[in-house]
Each structure stands twice: as structure tokens, then as C-alpha cells.
A and B are shown apart, each in its own frame.
Chain A
């Protein structure tokens, strides 16, 4: 494989890895809530849609 193509393939693989890391939160689909401020940012990021907040115990 030519160096340029190898570089391109490596970059593409890295992009896929970074994308997977961002799309998949730790511990499966359960993300850690870092702080109230962090939640406030998530809340505002979803502005434009109705938002339903459920405060739950897991069992």
C-alpha cells in the first residue's frame, strides 16, 4: 500500500473509532450525570423539542 493511501486508511479508521467512542456512552447506554450544570447544558441542547424529565430509582 502506498504511503498516502495508508495514511488515508489510518485516518479513516481513526475517524470511525472516534465516532464510535462518542456515540457509545460508557456502561452501555447509561451515561454518568456529572453535575446539575452538565444536565442544564444537555437540557438546553434539546431546546426546540418538548422535554420530559423522569426522576427514577432503578428498581
Chain B
């Protein structure tokens, strides 16, 4: 969840005009995880769509994609603590969403790359922030 807090603090809050959509898909991965433990306060921005994936379906699906297998796959065949960035023209086809503009795991470890990739897509506002 540190990654989500970083996105809120360093991507969304300093750039209220950045016109992007954030899909925050949460699911249980750790012993301490539960839906009851989910908090709307972590990512509190109208550009965020919060989704609960009780079956880890999306994390499993992404983990099975050959072109993404090397990016952010963590144990148990589930992709998590990972960001995937897509441009405005990306669409979901039989091969999944694409083209992919960037990806990283963990979110905190690859935060500089995330900031640069988002800045390239939405303009200089993000690049100007810390």
C-alpha cells in the first residue's frame, strides 16, 4: 500500500489537472490483507476507480501473459504491487491491453520510472513535481 500512497502524494495531488484514469485493483495477497482492511483514504482522488478483485482474477490473468511475465510477477502466479501504464489510444484486444507505455514492480522501487512515464503521457506538470 506504500505504492498507492506514493501515487496519491506524488502523482495525483501535485497534478490535479492531469487528465488520466487510475484503475486501483485490490485483492488479498498478504496474511494481513482483507477487504475490510481496504481504505478509501489511501487513494482519494476522483480520477481513481477502486475495484475489489476477490478472486485475484486480474492479477492472475496478467501474470499469465507472456509479454508481461517478466514484469512484476510475484509468487503464487499473481501480478501485484505493480503498475501498468497505457496511453490514450490503448485498447483491449484478444491479446489484452496495449500498447503498454510502461510497467514496474514494485511500485515504490520503480517510482521514478512511473513518474517519468506518466509525465510523458500527460504533459510537463508531473515532470515538474518532485
A residues with CB within 8 A of B:
27-33, 35-36, 39-44, 46-59
A57 near B92: Cβ-Cβ < 8 Å: no
B58 near A50: Cβ-Cβ < 8 Å: no
Main secondary structure of the interface of A (DSSP, over half): mixed
A52 near B118: Cβ-Cβ < 8 Å: yes
Interface size on B, residues (CB 8 A): 58
Interface flags, B9-30, vs A, CB<8A=1, else 0: 0010000000111111111111
A39 near B25: Cβ-Cβ < 8 Å: yes
B residues with CB within 8 A of A:
1, 3-4, 7, 11, 19-30, 32-35, 37-40, 43, 49-54, 57-59, 61-62, 72, 79-92, 97, 101, 107, 118, 121-122
B20 near A49: Cβ-Cβ < 8 Å: yes
Cα(A3)–Cα(B107), bound, Å: 60
**Contacts beyond the supplied A52-B86, A53-B84, A55-B72: 16 A-B pairs with Cβ under 8 Å:** A30-B38, A43-B97, A49-B19, A50-B19, A50-B21, A50-B121, A52-B22, A53-B83, A55-B27, A55-B82, A56-B3, A57-B27, A57-B29, A57-B80, A58-B37, A59-B34
